[in-house]
């Protein structure tokens, strides 16, 4: 049996942030997780508000204000009934980035503006806070640059030549003139030239001999190419800044890492950093445990049932934080014709705050499998109040239960680009409030 003061179910960004925030109050906090979820699939950059109401914006604060005005069920709107939402988002992101920074993963960016970053599929990503390995590649800083996109023979899912021509096109759409774009595909003796994954390449870059060989190769390429900036699909997992510095010194150019879809090295780097920092600050983390049910009494959760293989055992806490994510995390599953929350069987609500009706979703999907407003199921989840307590018919479901992250309804991060921002702020508030609950506040 596990006994703890706060039990966090789910170890993605929301769960790790909530757990760490709660340990600030010197409480005993335990995270259990069955595997991994959307946080590991992300790009490792923090979106706060990229496309409010479906229109892209470079001004997240204005976007948040629009959402608060037009979408009362959005987590930012719910929070704004009790707090200054911009300030609490700033606090939450500062908390998250300082956790990462303590483990050597540095972020740049400001809540006042979104930036455009180039990615490994030849397109771009609008975001707010990004790892500093990407800084030299922020689009508005590339005006007049001569960019060399560097590929590796056999690297799966990255076509440097395509990216180089595509970047020129995308840059001009944002009124940025790239003086020149070119590409190269490197081949190094220690590199497997088929089925090479980006994670394997990143791990190799952390090795001194490989890094030295690569720096030399880059220097040779640059000598023939008239290059001011070098874009790489990864700069390594553990030593990206050291690698960047060495490549820059060797080549005399500005070097940066492209944003990448899963498997994303920056996402893995971020999640490893958050987990290490959470443990350092006293959070106990058990991976491989799945919450499969609970015991409740009136409006109180008494224990959660955990499963590990065939074994079943209870975990008891004074407060519980549900941070199980959505479909990728496994906090919500679709079974036959039903969509359900998997641990507490809480009712689900749609993006507008209405009880989720499966028939409505089917009807919407039947009209258009790819609706412009986003897949309707991505906006569903549990409904919370401003303290992050799940509510059912506007009544608090359990006094000692809180929720955080993408299990919460009322927003569609795929459409609006707010995923990690909402996960961070709801995790931050849930962690604080769960701690206050345990302390008897």
Least distance in angstroms from the C-beta of 42 to ligand FAD = 3
Residue among 35 and 144 whose Cβ is closer to ligand FAD: 35
- Please state, in angstroms and as integers, the Cα–Cα distance from residue 193 to each residue in 104, 160, 186, 216, following that order: 31, 15, 10, 19
Nearer CB in complex with ligand FAD: 221/277: 277
Task: Count CB neighbours of 112 within 10 A.
Answer: 12
Smaller CB separation from ligand FAD, 151 or 419: 419
- When the beta carbons of 37 and 75 are compared against ligand FAD, the nearer one is 37
- Residues with Cβ within 8 Å of 184's Cβ and at least 6 positions away in sequence, in order, are 148, 149, 150, 151, 160, 221, 225
Q: Is the Cβ of residue 262 or residue 314 nearer to ligand FAD in the bound state? A: 262
Angle at 341 between CA 336 and CA 346, to 5 degrees: 125
Q: Residue 83 contacts by C-beta under 8 Å, 6 or more apart in sequence?
A: 386, 429
Tokens 């959760």 correspond to 301
Q: Which residues pair with 107 in a beta bridge?
A: 131
> Tokens representing 39?
């946080």
Q: CB 225 → ligand FAD: shortest distance, Å?
A: 30
Smallest Cα–Cα separation from 261: which of 124, 144, 128, 357?
124
C-beta of 352: minimal distance to ligand FAD in Å?
19
147-174 burial string, b = 16+ CB within 10 Å, else e?
bbbbbbeebeebbbeebbebbbebbeee
The CB-of-417 to ligand FAD minimum distance in angstroms stands at: 7
CB of residue 346 to ligand FAD, shortest distance in Å: 13
Instruction: Answer for the pair 303, 314: CB distance below 8 angstroms, yes or no.
Output: yes
Are 295 and 7 spatial neighbours (Cβ–Cβ below 8 Å)? no
Q: How far is the CB of 31 from ligand FAD (least distance, A)?
A: 9
Sites of contact with ligand FAD (CB under 6 A):
9-15, 32-39, 41-43, 45-47, 262, 290-291, 323-325, 328-331, 342-343, 405-406, 413, 419-420, 423
In whole angstroms, the minimum distance from the beta carbon of 324 to ligand FAD comes to: 3
Nearest CB to ligand FAD, comparing residues 195 and 345: 345
CB of 3 to ligand FAD, least distance (A): 18
Least Cβ distance, residue 55 to ligand FAD (angstroms): 18
Cβ atoms of residues 309 and 386 within 8 Å: no
- Closer by beta carbon to ligand FAD, 148 or else 343: 343
CB of 45 or CB of 391, closer to ligand FAD: 45
Alpha carbon 70 to chain centroid, angstroms: 25
Phi, psi at 31, each rounded to 5°: -110, 135
Closer residue to ligand FAD (CB): 89 or 227 = 89
Q: How many beta carbons lie within 10 A of that of residue 144, not counting itself?
A: 10
Other Cβ atoms closer than 10 A to 108: 14
Residue 430 backbone phi and psi in degrees, to 5: -60, -40
For 377-400, b where at least 16 C-beta lie within 10 A, e where not — what string? bbbbbbbbeebbbbbeeeeebbeb
CB closer to ligand FAD out of 239 and 326: 326
Q: Which two tokens stand for residue 25?
A: 């109050």
- Closest approach, Cβ 107 to ligand FAD, in A, equals 12
For residue 349, how far is the Cα from the chain centroid? 23
Q: How far is the CB of 424 from ligand FAD (least distance, A)?
A: 9
Give the residue with the Cβ less far from ligand FAD, 42 or 73: 42
């Amino acid at each position: 049996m596990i006994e703890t003061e706060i039990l966090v179910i789910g170890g993605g960004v929301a769960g790790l942030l909530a757990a760490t925030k709660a340990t600030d109050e010197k409480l005993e906090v335990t995270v259990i997780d069955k595997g991994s979820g959307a946080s590991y699939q992300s790009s490792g950059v923090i979106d706060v508000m990229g496309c409010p109401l479906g229109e892209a914006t470079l001004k997240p604060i204005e976007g948040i204000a629009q959402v608060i005005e037009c979408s009362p069920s959005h987590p930012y709107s719910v929070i704004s009934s009790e707090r200054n939402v911009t300030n609490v988002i700033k606090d939450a992101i500062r908390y998250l980035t300082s956790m990462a920074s303590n483990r050597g993963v540095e972020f740049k960016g400001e809540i006042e503006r979104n930036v455009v970053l180039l990615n490994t599929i030849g397109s771009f990503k609008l975001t707010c806070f990004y790892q500093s390995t990407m800084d030299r590649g922020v689009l508005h800083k590339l005006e007049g640059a001569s960019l060399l996109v560097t590929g590796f023979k056999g690297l799966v899912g990255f076509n440097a030549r395509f990216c180089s021509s595509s970047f020129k096109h995308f840059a001009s759409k944002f009124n940025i003139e790239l003086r020149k774009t070119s590409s190269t595909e490197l081949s190094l003796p220690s590199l497997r030239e088929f089925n090479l994954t980006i994670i394997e390449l990143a791990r190799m870059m952390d090795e001194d001999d490989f890094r030295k060989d690569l720096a030399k190769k880059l220097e040779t390429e640059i000598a023939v190419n008239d290059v001011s900036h070098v874009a790489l699909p990864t700069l390594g997992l553990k030593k990206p800044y050291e690698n960047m510095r060495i490549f820059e010194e060797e080549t005399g150019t500005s070097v940066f890492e492209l944003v990448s879809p899963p498997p994303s090295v920056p996402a893995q780097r971020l999640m490893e950093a958050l987990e290490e920092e959470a443990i350092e600050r006293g959070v106990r983390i058990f991976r491989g445990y799945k919450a499969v049910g609970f015991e409740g009494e009136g409006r109180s959760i008494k224990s959660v049932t955990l499963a590990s293989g065939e074994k079943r055992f209870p975990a008891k806490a004074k407060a519980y934080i549900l941070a199980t994510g959505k479909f990728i995390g496994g906090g919500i599953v679709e079974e036959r014709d039903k969509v359900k929350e998997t641990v507490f069987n809480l009712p689900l609500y749609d993006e507008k705050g209405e009880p989720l009706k499966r028939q409505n979703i089917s009807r919407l999907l039947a009209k258009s499998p790819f609706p412009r407003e986003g897949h309707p199921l991505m906006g569903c989840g549990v409904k919370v109040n401003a303290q992050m307590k799940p509510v059912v018919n506007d009544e608090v479901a359990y006094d000692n239960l809180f929720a955080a992250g993408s299990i919460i309804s009322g927003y569609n991060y795929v459409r609006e680009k707010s995923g990690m921002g909402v996960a961070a702020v709801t995790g931050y508030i849930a962690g604080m409030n769960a701690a206050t609950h345990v302390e008897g506040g």
